[in-house]
Each structure stands twice: as C-alpha cells, then as structure tokens.
C-alpha cells in the first residue's frame, strides 16, 4: 500500500501520495492538490519545493554528500576525467574504452567553430562580459546547425557539438578580446589541454601545457558538472519545457548562471578578496558587514541553499589549489586572505548559527587565477563545466513521455476590479 500524507482543510481530510527517493528523501505529490482542494502551494524561491524526480545527481546538504549517477564526487575527482564524467551524466553509465574513444572523436570532429561566427565576436563592444557573449553565441549555434535534434542527427552529435564548441568559443572570445589571433583546437590534445592551449598559445610564445594544470582543470570541470536543480539548471528545464531547441535552453542556463548569487559568485569572490587586500582592516570589515542585517553585503563564496555543511567541492578545490601552488612553486596573497577569512568565519557564531560554510565558488577563482584565466571569464569556466549537467537534465525531461510545460501558479494580491477612467477625468 503506497504511503500517503493527510491534509485537513475546511473540515475535509484529503490524502496525497508520498514520494520516497532512492536515498530516502520524501515529498508530497501535490499534482492533484488544486483539483481536489482548490488550494495551491506558495514557496518563494522554491526552498521547499521539488520540481522533478531525477536520477542524475544526489546532494545531501546536511552531510555534505555529492554523487553523480551514484558515484561520489571525491572518487570522480580523483580517478575520472571531465570527458568521462560528461558521458556518465548524459548516459548514466561510465563509458567503456570504445565508447569514450568514440565520444572523444566526436568532440574533436566538432571542435571547430564556423568561421562566420568569428565576426559575431568582433562586433560585440570591447569589454562586453564573456557570459553575455557566450549566451548569445550558443543561441546562434541553432542558426548554423538548423537540423538540430532532427531525425538524422543522433543525440551524441548534438551533445558533443555543444560541449566542444562552447569550449572553443570561450577561448576564441578571450583571444579576440585581447586583439590576438585565434588559436585553433588541435587533434592531438585532450579536451582540457586543448582549452588551455587555445587560450594561451601564441605564435611568438608557444604555450607550455603543464600536466598539473590539465589535471586541475579536469577536476575543476568535474566538480562543476552538475548540481541537481540549482537556479541555472532549473532555468534550462523550464525553458526547455516549451520544446525550444536544446541550444536555446542552454543559453537560458548560461544567463541564469551569470548572477553573483549563483555562478557569478566565483568572480565576485575574487573581487571581494581584492577589495580586502587593498583595504587595511578589510578582513574584519568584510566579516562585520556580512553579519549586519541592514547591509546587503554578503560574504561571497559562503553559504548555500542546500549545503548547511562544508561544500564537498570546496574541500577538493582547496586541496587542489595547495597542490598546484606547491607543484608550480607559486603563491597568491588572495589565497592567504581566503584561508584567513574562512578561519575567522568558521569560528564566528553568526556563520555557525546560519550554517554558512565555503561553497564551490570560494576557492575556485584562486585556482583559475593560477591557470592564468582572466577574472571576467571565471563564470564562463563554470558554464563549460556545467554543460554536461544541463544537457543531462534537459535530456531527462525530453526523454520523459509525460514531459509537461513548466508554468507555476501564483496568488494575486493586486487591485480588485475597477472601471477604466478616461484621461480627461484623471
């Protein structure tokens, strides 16, 4: 007998099915609520509302657990590669050698960008934010590949085209923004090594591809690859539910990720640390402002809607930063400030009482700085990492025979009915 939840309203008792996930999470299925009771639910920011049943990512915010298709983020970061994790998220299995090889061939075959797209980059005003450019360029891909998702194009081609071209476009937009010649992808380089080479190789100074940075970039993108129904993934699902093409839905995800409360936080963390570095007493001032309820200032890179414990990704990134700094014999004053800020916050009652810990964005920017990535491209780096997750989440919807258009309800609180008044009488 399926478990149910009872609701009593205006003397009537109603029963609704209880949905229990594979990890024991419980939800009331209210899909018949309005039809049976006339009620709807209200939950600004969807703090308590599940939008779907998903088999892709499991997060336990209290215990700091993150798994992709059942595999722990710690094991994937240690043993896997970004390509392999992308395949896992999209296909729900770790690929065999042959499957990974075929996936890689498709990624390589699709790594070039149509030469006409270069003009798009050149017509954006200098100084345009790379996230705005990326969102526009991804939508434009549909114009260059109109047969997208048609019968003659199998899914892996659609998927690898996006995974490969977004990486190339990101590097292209950087090169064009600094007035340099575009570096083309190379068939002999892996996904991550190709990106670094496209970003930093130059005719007068060949780029030395450091294996430590390739490993770090693999881990960085693995950690960002998915995170259940976050703001940008929810946006991809909502926009995709209108049956728009995949690339337009992904473009919506890029736009949502841009915000400083979401993916834009990695850039905001570095800007915050720079402000602290340039301001004597900046550290204590930042902590003081973060605790002041009348001050809109937030400690960027701290806090999370789901993690009420240390974000497991932040732990891995912090270790990866220490490893890269040791191997490359480099340092960064912002790392010292970040560690000091973390230590102060984690001992402060305000942060303890509010369950505020470092999240994925707190150390990620410091790692990207070590790679030489410009600050205004940090969120683009997050977007490239999140692509496989967005695609997998969209595909999970698209493969559902009961795929519904997303259209939330509301409670109206505006004026009651009133008569129109001619302008002469107002």
Binding residues (CB under 6 A) for ligand SDX: these are: 45, 227, 230, 261-263, 265, 290, 293, 298-306, 354, 356, 359-361
Q: For residue 205, how many other CB atoms are within 10 A of its CB? A: 8
Q: Which two tokens stand for residue 258?
A: 């841009």
- Which residue has the CB atom at the shortest distance from ligand SDX? 303
Tell the smallest beta-carbon distance from residue 48 to ligand SDX (Å).
Answer: 12
Beta bridge partners of 215: none
The three-state secondary structure class of 57 is strand
Among residues 361, 397, 399, 400, the one annotated as catalytic is 361
Tell the smallest beta-carbon distance from residue 361 to ligand SDX (Å).
Answer: 5
Residue with tokens 């600004």: 44
Question: Of the two residues 277 and 354, which places its CB atom closer to ligand SDX in the complex?
Answer: 354
Question: Of the two residues 138 and 270, which places its CB atom closer to ligand SDX in the complex?
Answer: 270
Tell the smallest beta-carbon distance from residue 6 to ligand SDX (Å).
Answer: 29
Closest to 230 measured CA to CA, from 257, 260, 251, 249 = 257
The three-state secondary structure class of 45 is helix
Strands of the sheet containing 4-9, edge to edge, are 4-9, 12-20, 26-28
Q: Is 224 an active-site residue?
A: no
Among residues 224, 227, 262, 304, the one annotated as catalytic is 304
Tell the smallest beta-carbon distance from residue 222 to ligand SDX (Å).
Answer: 12
The three-state secondary structure class of 42 is coil
DSSP string of 10-38, one letter each residue: TTEEEEEEEEE-TTS-EEE--TTHHHHHS
Question: Of the two residues 133 and 236, which places its CB atom closer to ligand SDX in the complex?
Answer: 236
The number of helix segments (H) and strand segments (E) in the chain equals 18, 6
Question: Of the two residues 56 and 172, which places its CB atom closer to ligand SDX in the complex?
Answer: 56
Q: Is 361 an active-site residue?
A: yes
Question: Of the two residues 173 and 229, which places its CB atom closer to ligand SDX in the complex?
Answer: 229
Residues classed as catalytic: 304, 361
């Amino acid at each position: 007998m399926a478990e149910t939840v009872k609701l009593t309203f205006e003397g009537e008792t109603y029963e609704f099915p209880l949905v229990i996930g594979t990890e024991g999470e419980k939800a009331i299925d209210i899909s018949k609520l309005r039809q049976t009771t006339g009620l709807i639910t209200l939950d600004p920011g969807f703090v308590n509302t599940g939008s779907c049943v998903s088999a892709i990512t499991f997060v336990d915010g209290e215990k700091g657990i993150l798994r992709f298709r059942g595999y722990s983020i710690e094991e994937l970061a240690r043993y896997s590669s970004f390509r392999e994790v992308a395949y896992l998220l999209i296909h729900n299995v770790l690929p065999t050698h042959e499957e990974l090889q075929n996936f890689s061939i498709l990624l390589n075959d699709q790594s070039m960008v149509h030469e006409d797209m270069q003009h798009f980059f050149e017509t954006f005003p200098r100084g345009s934010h790379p996230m705005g450019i990326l969102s526009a360029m991804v939508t434009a891909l549909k114009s260059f590949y109109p047969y997208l998702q048609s019968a003659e194009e199998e899914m892996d081609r659609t998927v690898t085209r996006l995974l490969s071209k977004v990486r190339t476009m990101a590097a292209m937009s950087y090169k064009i923004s600094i007035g340099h010649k575009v570096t083309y992808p190379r068939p002999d380089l892996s996904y991550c090594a190709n990106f670094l080479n496209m970003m930093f190789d130059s005719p007068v100074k060949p780029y030395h591809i450091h294996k430590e940075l390739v490993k770090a970039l693999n881990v960085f993108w693995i950690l960002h690859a998915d995170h259940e129904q976050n703001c940008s993934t929810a946006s991809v699902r909502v926009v995709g539910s209108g049956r728009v093409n995949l690339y337009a839905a992904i473009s919506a995800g890029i736009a949502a990720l841009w915000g400083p409360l979401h993916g834009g936080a990695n850039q905001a963390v570095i800007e915050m640390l720079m402000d602290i570095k340039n301001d004597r007493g900046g550290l204590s001032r930042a902590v003081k402002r973060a605790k002041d309820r009348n001050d809109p200032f937030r400690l960027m890179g701290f806090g999370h809607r789901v993690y009420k414990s240390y974000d497991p990704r932040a732990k891995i990134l912090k270790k990866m930063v220490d490893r890269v700094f040791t191997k490359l014999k480099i340092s960064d004053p912002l790392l010292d400030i970040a560690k000091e800020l973390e230590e102060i916050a984690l001992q402060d009652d305000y942060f303890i009482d509010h369950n505020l810990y470092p999240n994925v964005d707190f150390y990620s920017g410091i790692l990207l700085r070590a790679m030489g990535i410009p600050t205004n491209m940090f969120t683009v780096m997050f977007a490239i990492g999140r692509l496989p997750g967005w695609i997998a989440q969209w595909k999970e919807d698209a493969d559902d025979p009961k795929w519904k258009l997303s259209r939330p309800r509301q409670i109206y609180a505006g004026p009651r009915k009133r008569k129109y008044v001619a302008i002469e009488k107002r």
